[in-house]
Structure 1
């Protein structure tokens, strides 16, 4: 049985590359708390523009986006455009 590909070196390298850019959340447009702990709702997570469950690539840089943990979780695997989620994400 293969291990989780998100624990592998290529995924960690992609996450580090995206984190180093310190971009705002692609879903809501607000700044991300890059210094926050991983479980904080406003901390950085790597989101995939095309969800993996919909055929998106895990390791493709063109599919990787910076997002708040909360925004990423709220979006789920819906291929919703960011502008459609801004109103909902601003409720916090």
Structure 2
């Protein structure tokens, strides 16, 4: 396969399918604003439940999740979901 597989037609179709569902971020639970620029930290990205580096399928819809760019980046290639820090205020 030549080029970046994330620029391919099937990957873009998977992103469009997931974006059309208007699901909240699976990591933090907040809504994702579809009108934001793609480079905005709170914009939509496709995250993989099982990271690609751990053997997850790139084009598998069962492995695709909607996430904020910031949440997706913070998770990295870990298989666990980072827990939010507790507030010091009780």
TM exceeding 0.5: yes
Q: Aligned partners of 1:21, 1:77: CA distance in 2, in Å?
A: 24
2:65 aligns with 65
Bigger Rg over Cα: 2
Q: Aligned partners of 2:83, 2:30: CA distance in 1, in Å?
A: 10
Q: Aligned partners of 2:70, 2:64: CA distance in 1, in Å?
A: 17
Instruction: Give the secondary-structure state (helix, strand or coil) at the position aligned to 2:84.
Output: helix
Alignment of 1:1-92 (within 5 A): 2-81=2-81, 85-88=82-85
Report deviation, 1:34: 1.1
| TM-score relative to the length of structure 2 | 0.90
Quote the RMSD (CA, aligned, Å): 1.2
| TM-score relative to the length of structure 1 | 0.88
Structure 1 segments, 4+ long, off by >6 Å, are none
**Counting helix residues as a fraction of each chain, which structure ranks higher?**
1
Q: Aligned partners of 2:3, 2:60: CA distance in 1, in Å?
A: 19
Q: How many residues align?
A: 85
Structure 2 unaligned runs (5+)?
Answer: 86-90
Report deviation, 1:22: 0.6
Q: Aligned partners of 1:35, 1:18: CA distance in 2, in Å?
A: 15
